[in-house]
A = this chain, B = another copy of it.
Amino acid sequence: MIIILKENPDKKQLENLTDWLKTMGLDIHYSQGTSTTIMGLIGDTSVVDTDLINALDIVENVKRITEPYKNANRKFHPFDTVVEVPLPDGGSVKIGGGNFQIIAGPCSVESEDQVCTIAMEVKEAGAGLCRGGAFKPRTSPYAFQGMREQGINLLLEAKKRSGLPVVTEVMDISHLPFFENVDVIQVGARNMQNFELLKELGHIGKPVLLKRGLSSTLRELLMSAEYVMAGGNRNVILCERGIRTFETATRNTLDLSAIPLLKEKTHLPVIVDPSHATGSAALVLPMSMAATAAGADGLMIEVHNDPEHALCDGAQSITPATFRDLVKSVKSIQPLAYKGGKP
């Protein structure tokens, strides 16, 4: 970490700063220019709060040379993390480290028939996990808030029938007891910086699927993963799902450069959700193919079953038939995909 001091810094304040840095066990290396003094901090700077230092009157600028995340950092953990989701038969579904998985299912769990039918269909088509929303984050208090605990029970029924492990979103610490038999717990974009929830998930022995916030940088996403990992849970799957920009032709802008960038910075698996990112069924297939080519470890796809009668199927959901085609296209590209960014 480098601290660039302002010209003629107040001596008392500089002394305070120096003392404080030394109490954190850091060595300080000075470099004196004609008008600028640069302090180089040597040691474990991940505990140093750059905002605090930046705040000081005597400081012009602070710059990290090393990243503030450790558990998530590929530098310290060069090999790909493989997240394993246990199966009843003793086997497991693996994500990361060359294991590509497609997670598919309905936006919202609506009925036993709906979720079980879709689970079976996506399994047959090649999905490795089933997703379905039980607790739904909705912008309006008057919109359908999901079937909640009952929705989780229906999802678990779909798991039993299809054999697919299930992924569903948690919205509050107090709901965690309902997630006991859920296989992968999803943290949605709006909760990516719900730090208390992240801490709690650090103490749970289940994989966490962490979605990027709507206006979160990749570094912030990694810091949120670090919150979970710092608690002891190393099974974190990162998910790119679009960011907010001025463009209105798509719901969000899918940032696929996040895939190779994240995989360079971290050993955690990176998957992509083209359904929520684009908000358009027509874009799910091309963006799934692009994400795969860029080296994603998996995809998360919304699939609905009965377009004739279902009113709630999102503009972003595709039919099981389209999903089958998607799996084929994606699997044909996957062997040719980008493999770089990993040692």
Contact = CB atoms under 8 A, between A and B. Distances in A.
B293 A289 contact: yes
B190 A172 contact: no
A175 B197 CA distance: 12
A101 B65 CA distance: 40
A288 to B, nearest CB: 9
Q: How many copies of this protein are present in the complex?
A: 4
Contact of A248 (B141, B243, B248): B248
Contacts of A321: none
Given A2-B4, A20-B311, A246-B244, A142 B257 contact: no
Interface string A179-194: 0000000000011011
A87 interface: no
Interface in A1-32: 2, 4, 12-13, 16-17, 20, 29, 31
Contacts of A47: 142
Interface residues of A, number: 113
Contacts of A295: 286
B247 A255 contact: yes
B340 A336 contact: no
Interface stretch (A49-57, A76-84, A112-120): A49-57
A253 to B, nearest CB: 5
Given A16-B309, A286-B340, A336-B336, 8 more contacts: A12-B308, A29-B31, A141-B226, A244-B244, A247-B255, A260-B286, A260-B287, A285-B340
A283 B312 contact: no
> Quick one: which of A31, A33, A244, A246 has the most chain B CB within 10 A?
A246
Interface stretch (A132-140, A150-158, A203-211): A132-140
Interface stretch (A89-97, A123-131, A159-167, A215-223): A215-223
Nearest to A335: B332
Contact of A286 (B20, B68, B259, B282): B259
